[in-house]
Every structure is written in structure tokens, then in C-alpha cells.
């Protein structure tokens, strides 16, 4: 058992108590009893006997003096420098660099102080002080931390989060302890900046509907203007429109979802004089348009193996609602069989081709001689349905060798010869087919002159008169022809032997992907558009893709950066109808890609970084508000550096106690113990001498 007493900083007195606390206590009690008896009997020399007993008890306690040998350690000043994208606007990079250099120089001149430098925010996904500060504190002993200096624009998103910011502030204040946190702001308190906002943006909408978004204009800074400002709103494939926005008064903007897939709406605001930056003068939102279900009408003629293949593929697609009829009894067939004895139902031609035709996104005529089965006026309805945006796929068979002259024939892209060719052949892709999105993916499975697909056994020769030929048969006759008809689309597959691929006969072929991609092209799938312009940002780079059946590298594209700077981008042909190019996307915000000479649907594209990165451009003015609770809790100081890069406003750091008027760096007086010295306070010879003298004096007093 050992007792320790602090006598002074670095000095301790210890009592070893080899007899234990109880043993020494009993001995002290016995000594006190004997001394008390002597005093009661008025024995002479009792005082000296008490001295001897005290010296004996002290010697038995073995008191020692422990003195630490200390080496002073320098205090640590932690400098955190914000390197986020919002620190790159205006002249903040120069101000920050000058303040950083001046701070490092002045801190290095202070005695007994070590400076550690940490940068944070480089990832561009939001400026978060908490992880950077806590990570640095993990490597710094708490008793050596003098102060923390944060060089930033004050846009600290984790501290500014209303849900988690207060708890994070309390945790950081606890970890800092007695060390103050000073905030050095790279900017001025009177900065002004305008920014566009898009809110109430739905993630999804139904094709054919119109959704409403809220477009607003905010002005950060003092003396915000109230007069309306002209804003340009753009949607790819549509002419731009102008809106007048009053700061602080959002306006609804309606967006028509006229095709499946993403629909982008962008707004831009011209830069104004005295504005901090134009990075947040552009904003975009994307709404994904979906169909509730794709309704397909499949009308088959004589039953054959291909009918089952078509039905199986369409039924297997969860996005397709299939209605299938097989016409076994032509309308012009007349016999004496009573209707109540027929096992067939009447083909609902009026209901399908007039009353409910508008409900179908795609109509497939499979080996059916529609001229003898559907009256002309209903075929006229089908032609009008296609012109208004519907899809039509004609799978030719013997019954379709001769089409009626009116009214369906004008929308068909191939004029049939009226013959049926019964001879094996291998389908092949044309040059256009190798570039068209419907069949480009199949090009890897076919080589020019030696296709490795299975043979087909029948086709209908014809002459193309509209659209593009993607596959050809013998003598380069069209086999798969696609065409646009006003708002709609038409495809003709001039053979009914495609099912041989599905069965794997003669090696088979890519029947399933061909049919699926063909059906989705007919229903207007944007990913299968022949002409398209797209852009995306990933890994800090802007990647642009142009798709075209002609040369996609014919002309460079214009790229408009978030700050309004323009550049030209040359494309590289990928050989499958696509041309791509890439460049660094250094500035945060919305990029615009333009091709003024392209088709209307491929003249404009937008690319924005992930939502986390857009935090950096949401608000750009410098602010002390986010870090104010932490600065106050640690008795730190907030300093505005101004915008003079040559001479930033920077107080001189001082080694003093915390003071809100200076960049205080309190002394912590930390040390490292290099050794200990032990010294017995009552060595045995000294104790024996003192006890002997005390007892001798007591004996002499008794004898006197």
C-alpha cells in the first residue's frame, strides 16, 4: 500500500507503508496510549518520548520524495484550409493563398509552437468541417492543442445542417476543450450573388401528362433588388421561352412529358454587374417519364410457329399489356354455316380499329392479309393513328404479298413486288444497320461477307421507298425497313422465318433482342433514337455522346461551362453510330452542350454533377453564420479577410489566453517526463540517530 501526495508540479511525496495502514495505525495507537499514560502520571521526559515515537512511526512509513525530470513540449496550432469548389470563385484562391502563407510565416515565428496544416473539401461533395477536424485531432494530444484556425468562405455544410449541425457543434466543442477555434473568412460581408432554384420537382410522371415545377430567383447579400429579371427556360427539342422572375417570388413552370425516359428542363440567367459569380445562374431538373403499361395489339393471320414466338416474347415483358387476335375466317368468306354452329367468335374489327385504337401504343400485323380481313375505312383509321404518334409493325407473309393500294399503303416504307421468294438465305446487316441503335448491338455477331446467323427460308421482295434499310436478304433486297411517318413510326419485316432463330435452327440468331429493340423503337424509346445528343459528368469529367446515322463527327460541339465560358469539342467515331468526346469538368454546376446544326431533337443536352456536388454552388457568398456557434462555444474569433489578395486583413497571432479580440493561441505547458529521482526523507541512520537522541534526552530529564 502506497500513499501519494502532490507537493508541487512534478514533485510528489510517497509513503510506502510496508507494515500496511492497519499495522502502522495500531502501532501509532499503542504509542499514543503509552504517551497518554505518561502524561497522566506526569512523568518527566514524556515529550521527548513522543518525539522518538513520531520519528519511529515516520521511519516505518518510509517517506520518499519523487521529482520528475521534465522536457517541455511545443504547443500545436492546427490550420485547416478549405479547398472546396466554392473557394475557387472570384479572387478567393488568391486571398486564401496569401492568408495561408502569412499565417504559416507568423506562426513559425512564435516560440514553442508547432503548426500542422490540413486541407479539406477537395472532393467537391459538400464542405464538411467535422470529419477533417476530428481526423486531425485524433493525431494531436489534447494537452498540446493551442488553437484551431479555419481558413474558409464559411459555407460549412455539415455545421449548417439543421438536423445534425447542433449535435456536431457540441461534439467538436467538447473535443477542442480549452483550445479556441478561429474562423478566417475569405470574402467580404457585403458580397452579392444571384442564384436560380428549381423546387417541387417530381421524380416521375406519366407519358402524356404535364408536371409543374417551381422556378425561383434568390439574391444573397444586402440591398437585394425587387425588379423582375428575364430568365430563359429550355427543354431539349423545344424552342426556348422567356419568364420574368421577381426575387423571392417563385413561379410555376409546366413541363410536358411527351416521351418515355428522362425529360430535362433547364433555366439560365445572364450574369449581372457586381455579381459574385455566374456558377449558380444555371439550373436544371430531370423528370423521368414512364408509361403505366405499353398496350400492344397483335393481329395474326394463319397460325404458324412464328405467332407463338411473338406472343411469348411480348407476354414475357412485364411492361407490355398484350391483346392478341388470330383471324381464321376472312370477312369476305360467305358460306351457309349458321353462326350459332361456328366455334369462332366474330373478329371485333370496329372495336379494335375505331373505338379503342387510340388505346394501343403499337399494332403488329403478323402474316395477315389485312385487305381481305379489315375494311378500308378501318385501315384509314390505322394510318391516321400512326401519323398521330402510334407504332405499326408489319411482319410479311404470303397473305401480305399484295397490299391494298389505299389507305394503308402510303405509310408503308416498302413497295412489295407481289412475289413470294421461297429459298434459303442468311440475313445480314446493312451499313446503316450497323449504326442504327435497333441493330447496332447485333453487329458484333455478324461480320461483313460471312454472317454467322442461321438461315431464313422465305421473304417478300420489294423496293424501299422511305426510311432506312437495316437488314437485307438476297440481292440486297430490303428485309427490315424502318421509317418515320409524321409523329409515328412504321417497321416492315419482310419475312415470316424469324422464328427459326428463336428455335436455334442452323445456329439460330439474335431473335429476342432484335424483336424487343424493334418493338421499343416503334414505341418511341429515347434510348433507341437515331439522332440523339447526351452528356454526363462522372469522375470529374464531362462525357458527350452524339448518335447519328450519318457521320456523327461531322462538326464539333459547343460546350458552355457553368460560368458561361464556351469551348469547342471534337468527337471521335466509335463505329456503331456513336461519337464520343470527353473533357475535364473542373467548374461545379450545370454544363450545356449545343449542336445548332443538328436535328431538332439532338441540338441540346445538359449535364450536372451529382446532387452532393451542387451544394458547392447553391450559395456562394461568404458567411460566418454556420460556424458561429462553434466559434462562440470555444471563445474564438471571426475575421473577414476581405478581397485584397495582396494584403488580406489578418490579425497577428498571440501566445496568450483566449481573447475574442485577437487570434489567441493559449499556452498549454505540455511536457514529456524523461526520468524520476527518488530521495528518502527519513533514511534509517537518520531515524536511528534522532530516536536515540530523543530517548537519551528523555532519560536525562527523568534523572534530573
Backbone angles phi, psi at 384, to 5 degrees: -65, -40
| Contact between residue 56 and residue 86 where contact means Cβ atoms under 8 Å apart | no
Q: Are residues 275 and 564 in contact, defined by beta-carbon separation less than 8 angstroms?
A: no
How many other C-beta atoms lie within 10 A of the C-beta of residue 425?
A: 19
The predicted structure's pLDDT at residue 593: 95
Residue 484: in which H helix or E strand, if any? strand 478-485
DSSP E strand stretches across 16-112: 63-72, 75-82
Return the closest-CA partner of residue 220 out of 280, 262, 264.
280
CA–CA distance, 231 with 193 (Å, rounded to integer): 16
pLDDT of residue 655: 66
- Cα(first)–Cα(last) distance of the chain, in Å? 43
Q: What superfamily would CATH give domain 74-189+622-669? A: von Willebrand factor, type A domain (3.40.50.410)
Report pLDDT for 337. 58
Task: Spell out the SS3 assignment of 567-629.
Answer: EEECCEECCCCEEEEEEECCCCCCEEEECCCCCHHHCEEEECCCCCCCHHHHCCCCCCCCCHH
pTM for this prediction: 0.74
Specify the pLDDT at position 332.
Answer: 54
DSSP string, 274-315: T-S-STTSEEEEEEEEE-S-EEEEEEE-S--HHHHHHHHHHH
Hey, where are the domains in the chain? Answer: 3-71+674-703, 74-189+622-669, 193-291, 294-522, 532-607
User: What are phi and psi for residue 378, nearest 5 degrees?
Assistant: -75, -35
3-state secondary structure of 504: coil
Cell numbers describing residue 662: 485577437
Of the CATH numbers 2.60.40.2550, 3.30.390.30, 3.40.109.10, 1.10.1530.10, which one belongs to the domain with range 193-291?
2.60.40.2550
Half-sphere exposure of 196 (CA within 13 A, CB side): 31
Q: Are 263 and 287 in contact (CB under 8 A)?
A: yes
pLDDT of 456: 92
Q: For residue 152, what pLDDT is reported? A: 95
The domains spanning 74-189+622-669 and 294-522 adopt the same CATH topology: yes
Q: How far is it, in rounded angstroms, from Cα 246 to Cα 207? A: 32
Low-confidence ranges of the chain (pLDDT < 50): 447-450
Model pLDDT, residue 699: 76
Which CATH number does the domain 294-522 belong to among 3.40.190.10, 3.40.50.880, 3.90.79.10, 3.30.930.10? 3.40.50.880
Which three cell numbers, joined as nine digits, stand for 173?
A: 466543442
Tell how far CA 660 is from the center of its chain. 39
Query: In angstroms, rounded to a whole number, what is the distance separating the alpha carbons of residues 670 and 313?
Result: 77
Fold of 532-607: Immunoglobulin-like (2.60.40)
- Cβ contact 474:457 at 8 Å: no
State residue 450's pLDDT score: 46
Amino acid at each position: 500500500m502506497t500513499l501519494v501526495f502532490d507537493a508541487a508540479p512534478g514533485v510528489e511525496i510517497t509513503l510506502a507503508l510496508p507494515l500496511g495502514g492497519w499495522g502502522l495505525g495500531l502501532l501509532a495507537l499503542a504509542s499514543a496510549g503509552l504517551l497518554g499514560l505518561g502524561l497522566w502520571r506526569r512523568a518527566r521526559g514524556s515529550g521527548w518520548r513522543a518525539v522518538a515515537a513520531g520519528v519511529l512511526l515516520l521511519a516505518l512509513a518510509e517517506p520518499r520524495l519523487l521529482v520528475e525530470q521534465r522536457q517541455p513540449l511545443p504547443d500545436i496550432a492546427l490550420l485547416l484550409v478549405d479547398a472546396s469548389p466554392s473557394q475557387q470563385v472570384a479572387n478567393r484562391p488568391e486571398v486564401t493563398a496569401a492568408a495561408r502563407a502569412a499565417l504559416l510565416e507568423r506562426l513559425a515565428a512564435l516560440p514553442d509552437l508547432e503548426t500542422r496544416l490540413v486541407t479539406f473539401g477537395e472532393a467537391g461533395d459538400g464542405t464538411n468541417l467535422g470529419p477533417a477536424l476530428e481526423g486531425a485531432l485524433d493525431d494531436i494530444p489534447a494537452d498540446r492543442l493551442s488553437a484551431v484556425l479555419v481558413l474558409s468562405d464559411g459555407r460549412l455544410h455539415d455545421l449548417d445542417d439543421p438536423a445534425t449541425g447542433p449535435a456536431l457543434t457540441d461534439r467538436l466543442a467538447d473535443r477542442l476543450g480549452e483550445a479556441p477555434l478561429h474562423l478566417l473568412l475569405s470574402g467580404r460581408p457585403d458580397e452579392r450573388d444571384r442564384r436560380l432554384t428549381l423546387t417541387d420537382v417530381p421524380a416521375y410522371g406519366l407519358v402524356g401528362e404535364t408536371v409543374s415545377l417551381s422556378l425561383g430567383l434568390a439574391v444573397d447579400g444586402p440591398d437585394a433588388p425587387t425588379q423582375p429579371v428575364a430568365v430563359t427556360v429550355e427543354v431539349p427539342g423545344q424552342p426556348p421561352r422567356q419568364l420574368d422572375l421577381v426575387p423571392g417570388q417563385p413561379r410555376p413552370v409546366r413541363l410536358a412529358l411527351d416521351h418515355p425516359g428522362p425529360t430535362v428542363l433547364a433555366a439560365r440567367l445572364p450574369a449581372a454587374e457586381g455579381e459574385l459569380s455566374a456558377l449558380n445562374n444555371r439550373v436544371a431538373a430531370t423528370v423521368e417519364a414512364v408509361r403505366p403499361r405499353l398496350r400492344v395489339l397483335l393481329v395474326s393471320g394463319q397460325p404458324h410457329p412464328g405467332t407463338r414466338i411473338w406472343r411469348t416474347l411480348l407476354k414475357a415483358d412485364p411492361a407490355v399489356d398484350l391483346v392478341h387476335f388470330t383471324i381464321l375466317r376472312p370477312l369476305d368468306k360467305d358460306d351457309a354455316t349458321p353462326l350459332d354452329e361456328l366455334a369462332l367468335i366474330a373478329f371485333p374489327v370496329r372495336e379494335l380499329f375505331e373505338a379503342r385504337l387510340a388505346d394501343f401504343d403499337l399494332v403488329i400485323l403478323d402474316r395477315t392479309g389485312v385487305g381481305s380481313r379489315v375494311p378500308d375505312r378501318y385501315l384509314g383509321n390505322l394510318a391516321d393513328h400512326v401519323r398521330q404518334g402510334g407504332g405499326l409493325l408489319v411482319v410479311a407473309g404470303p397473305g401480305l404479298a399484295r397490299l391494298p393500294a389505299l389507305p394503308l399503303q402510303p405509310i408503308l416504307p416498302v413497295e412489295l413486288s407481289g412475289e413470294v421468294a421461297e429459298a434459303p438465305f442468311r440475313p445480314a446487316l446493312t451499313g446503316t444497320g450497323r449504326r442504327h441503335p435497333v441493330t447496332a448491338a447485333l453487329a458484333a455477331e455478324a461480320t461483313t461477307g460471312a454472317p454467322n446467323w442461321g438461315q431464313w427460308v422465305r421473304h417478300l421482295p420489294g423496293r424501299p421507298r422511305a426510311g432506312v434499310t437495316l437488314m437485307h436478304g438476297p440481292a440486297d433486297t430490303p428485309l427490315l425497313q424502318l421509317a418515320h411517318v409524321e409523329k409515328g413510326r412504321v417497321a416492315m419485316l419482310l419475312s415470316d422465318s424469324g422464328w427459326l432463330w428463336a428455335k436455334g435452327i442452323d445456329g439460330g440468331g439474335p431473335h429476342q433482342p432484335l424483336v424487343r429493340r424493334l418493338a421499343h423503337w416503334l414505341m418511341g424509346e429515347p434510348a433507341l433514337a437515331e439522332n440523339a445528343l447526351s452528356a454526363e459528368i462522372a469522375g470529374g469529367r464531362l462525357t458527350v455522346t452524339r448518335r447519328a446515322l450519318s457521320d456523327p463527327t461531322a462538326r464539333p460541339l459547343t460546350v458552355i461551362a457553368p460560368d458561361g465560358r464556351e469551348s469547342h469539342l471534337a468527337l471521335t467515331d466509335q463505329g456503331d453510330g456513336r461519337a464520343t468526346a470527353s473533357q475535364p469538368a473542373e467548374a461545379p454546376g450545370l454544363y450545356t452542350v449545343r449542336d445548332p446544326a443538328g436535328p431538332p431533337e439532338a441540338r441540346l443536352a445538359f449535364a450536372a454533377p451529382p446532387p452532393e456536388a451542387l451544394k458547392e454552388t447553391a450559395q456562394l457568398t461568404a458567411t460566418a453564420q454556420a460556424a458561429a456557434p462553434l466559434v462562440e462555444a470555444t471563445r474564438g474569433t471571426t475575421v473577414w479577410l476581405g478581397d485584397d489578395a495582396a494584403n488580406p486583413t489578418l490579425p497577428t497571432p498571440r501566445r496568450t489566453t483566449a481573447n475574442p479580440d485577437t487570434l489567441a493561441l493559449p499556452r498549454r505547458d505540455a511536457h514529456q517526463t524523461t526520468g524520476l529521482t527518488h530521495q528518502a526523507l527519513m533514511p534509517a541512520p537518520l531515524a536511528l540517530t534522532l530516536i536515540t537522541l530523543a530517548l537519551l534526552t528523555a532519560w536525562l530529564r527523568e534523572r534530573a
